[in-house]
């Protein structure tokens, strides 16, 4: 346990001076916090660092797409139950017969600076043993060197 605390203290000190770039500092902090949670609190020897993804479209556009989806769903309900059957404009015909399609928002995996990650872990006595690339996240398996 003392060895783990010494490594954690070394990581804490080194994350502040390892790089001046704010993204790299966040990367080092993420490694440090993951080590604290997984190895010290949970008592594991190895840990995994995961980096989530980000959406391709902006947040206001995604909200607007869902807003339109809800309005078209309400309008479809109105058309199916209260509108006369003889009105066949293209929008109404599409809504009645095909329904409203739910908005699709793509998410891509956010790639960290791997040179910085490898270097920071190597200085602290760790190495990356595996890398798992998913469509919306990236996970690195980290073990002692």
pLDDT tens-place string over residues 86-117: 666 777 777 878 889 999 999 888 888 889 99
* Residue appearing with tokens 């993804």: 53
**If phi over 0 gives left and psi between -120 and 50 gives alpha, with beta otherwise, what is residue 49?**
beta
Rounded (10°) CA dihedral 11, 14, 16, 17 = -170
Give 58's pLDDT tier (boundaries 50, 70, 90): very high
Q: What is the pLDDT of residue 81?
A: 81
Per the model's pLDDT, the better-predicted residue between 88 and 48 turns out to be 48
Q: Can you tell me the mean pLDDT for 51-68?
A: 94
Per the model's pLDDT, the better-predicted residue between 135 and 83 turns out to be 135
What is the average pLDDT score of the chain? 88
Reported as half-sphere exposure (CB side, CA atoms, 13 A), residue 32 has a value of 20
**If phi over 0 gives left and psi between -120 and 50 gives alpha, with beta otherwise, what is residue 118?**
alpha
Q: What is the pLDDT of residue 86?
A: 65
Judged against a pLDDT cut of 90, whether residue 135 lies above it is answered with no
Q: What is the pLDDT of residue 136?
A: 85
If DSSP codes are grouped into helix, strand and coil, which group holds residue 79? helix
Q: Can you tell me the mean pLDDT for 42-66?
A: 92
**If phi over 0 gives left and psi between -120 and 50 gives alpha, with beta otherwise, what is residue 125?**
left
Judged against a pLDDT cut of 90, whether residue 130 lies above it is answered with yes
Helix (H) or strand (E) holding 17: helix 2-17
Q: Can you give the pTM of this predicted structure?
A: 0.71
**Computed from CA positions of residues 140, 30, 124, 114, in that sequence, does the dihedral angle turn out positive or negative?**
positive
**Residue 136 contacts residue 120 (beta carbons within 8 Å):** no
Per the model's pLDDT, the better-predicted residue between 19 and 32 turns out to be 32
Backbone angles phi, psi at 97, to 5 degrees: -90, -30
Percentage, residues of the chain above pLDDT 90: 38
């Amino acid at each position: 346990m003392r060895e783990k605390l010494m490594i954690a203290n070394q990581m804490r000190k080194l994350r502040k001076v390892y790089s001046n770039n704010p993204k790299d500092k966040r990367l080092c902090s993420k490694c440090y916090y993951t080590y604290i949670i997984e190895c010290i609190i949970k008592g594991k020897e190895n840990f995994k660092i995961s980096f989530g993804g980000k959406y391709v479209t902006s947040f206001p556009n995604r909200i607007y797409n869902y807003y339109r989806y809800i309005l078209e769903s309400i309008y479809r309900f109105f058309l199916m139950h209260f509108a006369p059957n003889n009105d066949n404009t293209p929008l109404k015909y599409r809504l009645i017969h095909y329904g409203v399609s739910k908005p699709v928002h793509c998410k891509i995996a956010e790639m960290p600076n791997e040179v910085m990650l490898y270097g920071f872990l190597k200085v602290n006595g760790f190495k990356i043993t595996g890398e798992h690339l998913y469509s919306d996240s990236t996970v690195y398996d980290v073990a002692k060197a």
